[in-house]
Structures are given as structure tokens and as C-alpha cells.
Amino acid sequence: MPDFGAYNADGRMTEKMLTQSIVTNPSFEFAADVRTGLTKSKQKELPSKYLYDDVGSALFEVISFLPEYGLTRADERLLRRHAGDIVDLLQTPIAVAELGSGSGKKTRWILEALCRRQHTSYYPIEISPTALAMCERELRDIECTSILGCEREYLDGLLEVAAKRHRGEHFLVLFLGSTIGNFDRMAGLKFLNQVRRILEPGDSMLLGTDLEKSYAQMIAGYDDELGVTAAFNLNLLARINRELDADFDLSQFQHVARFNREVRSIEMHLRSKRKQMVTIPGSELVVEFVEGETIWTESSHKYSLTEVPRLARSAGFRCQAQWVDEQWPFAESLLVAE
Ligand code: AVJ
């Protein structure tokens, strides 16, 4: 029984309590999103943010070490090599907010470079309490840095954090790891616009984007030989079994990675190997699959280097500098709010 917080004397909730708990209770939100996604008439889909429960986050950590998946290592390499140059371009004093901190490993380089110039408040914004705790542990030894974790969705968290701005202080927003690639291009632009509206002119954003590469390299990155990405994807069904009491037979679904050329995005799907029916009591749902039908679970858009400054400009930023990794096409772009 989920914890609703408050009940009437007879043990039932008032309508107002019920509405509040449905809106804010994460397991209700999951149940509702699963229901919405799996009842779509054409392409069934599930929101990619649900890939990252504790098991999924641990699997993603493994993915970041796979030879086929160079994205995370390229991101980290760029920050390690260029943290000094990046920090030199910033106006201080500056506070740092990170959207989706993950483990926090690559943020170390920026915070260490900054601590030579000032005391820094670092606000990791993260919906996963496990990731937040890990990030705090990973970075707590850095001198002259206060870590102030914020367990919220990106924009809610940024709003809350920006309200703590001191007079004359700037903000640096980190949006690393090509997380923006999970949005389609329109939604990515809209998101950058929303971030821009929370910021003040002169604030900065460091944006990591994975760049387009050969077809073979892109597919291999999302369909590795060991099957870790397949497990990462299938874990979403296992999670629905665990949390919503469903009966997905994981052996009857297959991980698929495909490149959508029109929108330049790698899509992950789960393909039903046969006609089958799945019951999801937690979503009060029975779903039918025909043979070969897929559930679309994630998009990972790939960018060109020149497209990022254009995107930034449309969102009210100016691209001040870019750094590209030599081994794996990936870019960090430093954007300044205008
Ligand atoms: C962490 C969202 C950037 O899209 O490449 C890795 C997630 N999915 N392998 C990506 C992911 C499959 C990753 N992001």
C-alpha cells in the first residue's frame, strides 16, 4: 500500500488528498505513464526516464565502460582536459547547478578548476536519491565546495536553486552526457528556452552533445556484444513486473537499436517475438502485442557541431566556445545567456 500521508477517520481519503497523492506519488505517476504509453494506438512507447531505477542506473554505469560506447568517456576526457579553459571564460563569483548529476565523476574537473578561484556552491539536481547520494560521496573531498543536493525534476530544481542566487553571483548550468539527445529536436529547443528563462544575462550553460558518426559505430554503441544495453532496455519491463506486479516474459521480447535517418536519432525498442498478452495490475491494464510489434523506449539524437550554436541562438544563448574530443565525436559547448 503506497503511503498517502493522510486519511479520514474512517480510513478513506478525501477527494483533495486523493488528487494530491495521485499528482505527487511517484509510483502512481509511473503506473499512469505506463498506462498512457502502452495504450497508444500506433506505436507503443515508454518514457526513457524510467530506464533509470537502481538496476538501470547501475547498468548504465557498466555501459559507460564498454568499448562500443565511447560517449561518457569522451565527455569526461573533454572536461578533464579543458576544465581550466572553460573556467577561464566564466564570470565569477559563480554557483554551479547540474541537471541530472549521475555519479558526479566528470563534474569533479570543473569544481576543482573553480576552487582555485573561489568558494563554490554546487547544486546537483537529480530525481534519483541513490544517484544524488553517490554524487555527494564522490565529490565531498573537493576543497572550497559546498554540495547542496536537490531531489527534483530538472526545471523545478533549477527554479528552486536559482532563487538562492546571491547578489552579483552568476550561474553555470551543466547539462552533460548528451542527455539533451533524449528530447526530440523541438522539445530540446523548448527545454533550452525554459532553462534560459530561469537564468539571467551573463549566466552560462555547458552543454554536452554526442555528434553524428558512422552508422556502424552508432548502432554498435546501442547494441553491444555483451548484451549490457539489451539488459538495460529489458530492465524497463522487469521494473514494470517488480513495481506494478506485471507478468512480462522477458524472454519473449528482444532489444532492438535502430537509426532513424529523418530525425538523426538512435532509437531503442523492445520487440515482441510473438503474439502475446501481458497483464499489468498496477496500471489496471491488459496489453496485447502482435508478433514483431515494438515498444519505443528511448531516443538518442545525434548532432552536428554547427547545429549547436544555431540551436543555442534560437533559445536566447550565444555559443562562446566548443571543444570536440579527438577519439569519439562529442562536443562540449559553452553557451552564454544573452
Ligand atoms: C545517458 C541518455 C545520454 O542516450 O546515449 C546509453 C543513455 N541508452 N545506452 C544515451 C543510453 C543506451 C544515454 N544517455
DSSP sequence for 243-284: HH-----GGGEEEEEEEETTTTEEEEEEEESSSEEEEEGGGT
* Ligand 1 midpoint to CA 10 (Å): 47
Q: How far is the CA of 175 from the centre of ligand 1 (A)?
A: 14
Q: Report the pLDDT averaged over residues 279-297.
A: 98
Give the strand pairing for 265-272 and 44-45.
unpaired
Ligand 1 close to Cβ of residue 181 (< 6 A): yes
If one residue of 263, 298, 301, 330 were mutated to test the ligand 1 pocket, choosing by the most ligand atoms within 8 A of its CB, it would be 298
Label residue 102 by pLDDT band (50, 70, 90).
confident
How many whole angstroms separate alpha carbon 246 and alpha carbon 185? Answer: 33
User: Residue 153 class from Cβ within 10 Å (0-12 exposed, 13-18 middle, 19+ buried)?
Assistant: middle
User: What amino acid is encoded at 20 in this protein?
Assistant: Q
Beta strands in the chain (DSSP E): 44-45, 94-99, 120-125, 145-147, 170-175, 204-210, 253-260, 265-272, 276-280, 285-289, 294-301, 317-324, 330-337
For residue 253, pLDDT over 80 is answered with yes
Please confirm whether the linkage preceding 93 is cis (ω < 30° from 0).
yes
Sheet strands side by side (includes 44-45): 44-45, 294-301, 265-272, 253-260
Q: Whose CA is nearest to atom 9 of ligand 1?
A: 222
Instruction: Take atom 4 of ligand 1 and give the residue whose Cα is closest.
Output: 300
pTM listed for this prediction: 0.91
* Mean pLDDT of the region 109-116: 96
Q: How far is the CA of 221 from the centre of ligand 1 (A)?
A: 9
Sheet holding 330-337: strands in order across? 145-147, 120-125, 94-99, 170-175, 204-210, 330-337, 317-324
pLDDT digits (tens, 9 = 90+) for 120-151: 999 999 988 888 999 999 999 999 999 999 99
pLDDT band at 89 (very low <50, low <70, confident <90, very high): very high
> Does the Cβ of 267 fall within 6 Å of ligand 1?
no
Among the residue ranges 7-16, 36-45, 111-120, 321-330, the one predicted with the least confidence is: 7-16
Closest CA to 71 of 170, 217, 202, 169: 217
As a whole number, mean pLDDT of residues 222-234 equals 98
123 vs 157: CA distance, rounded Å: 9
Ligand 1: nearest atom to the Cα of 233: 12
Say how many Å lie between the CA of residue 64 and the centre of ligand 1.
Answer: 9
* Confidence bin at 18 (pLDDT 50/70/90): low
Ligand 1: which of 46, 48, 52, 60 to mutate, most ligand atoms within 8 Å of CB? 60
Compute the distance between CA of residue 56 and CA of residue 59 in angstroms, rounded to an integer.
5
CB-side neighbour CA atoms (13 Å) of 229? 25
Q: Which three cell numbers mark 149? A: 543536493
Q: Which atom of ligand 1 is least distant from the CA of 232?
A: 12
Chain-centre distance for alpha carbon 117: 30
d(CA 35, ligand 1 centre) in Å = 24
Ligand 1 atom nearest to 298, measured from its CA: 8
Which position has the higher pLDDT, 105 or 194?
194
Instruction: Determine the distance separating the centroid of ligand 1 and the alpha carbon of 69, expressed in angstroms.
Output: 9
Closest CA to 195 of 106, 114, 316: 316
> In angstroms, how far is CA 93 from the centroid of its own chain?
28
Torsion of CA 193, 64, 54, 195, to 10 degrees: -10
Q: Whose CA is nearest to atom 8 of ligand 1?
A: 222
Residue 5 has pLDDT above 70, yes or no: no
Contacts of 274 (CB under 8 A, 6+ apart): 252, 291
Query: Does ligand 1 lie within 6 Å of residue 64's CB atom?
Result: no
- Burial level of 152, CB count in 10 A (0-12/13-18/19+)? middle
